[in-house]
Amino acid sequence: MKSLLIKSQLFGDLVIPADDFEESRDIWDSLDIYLDINVFGEDDDDIQANIYPVKDGLTCTSKGVIDMCLEVIENVELIEDLTS
């Protein structure tokens, strides 16, 4: 199974399941009850992730993508997950 390795300046190295990322090239995942992550990219050399706050169960993107985004991460790799 493949995973996404996301090297965050704020939260350190994050590993999330790639699920259907290779097909859709755009996935959302929950890091915890306060943080959601959106990972997207046209090809494996250009994958980006954005981390957003969550309030009352809703992802806070309403003020615009850049305004509410806690971190834009350009250091993202599609990897073979050796733990599964």
Residues 21-76 pLDDT 10s: 999 999 999 999 999 999 999 988 899 999 999 988 888 887 655 568 899 999 99
Tell me the CA distances in angstroms from 38 to 2, 33, 46, 83, one per residue in order.
Answer: 17, 15, 14, 23
Task: Name the residue range of residue 56's domain.
Answer: 2-80
Q: How many domains does the chain have?
A: 1
Overall pTM > 0.85: yes
pLDDT score for 60: 86
What's the pLDDT score for residue 44?
86
Give the 3-state secondary structure of 3-27: EEEEEECCCEEEEEECCCHHHHCEE
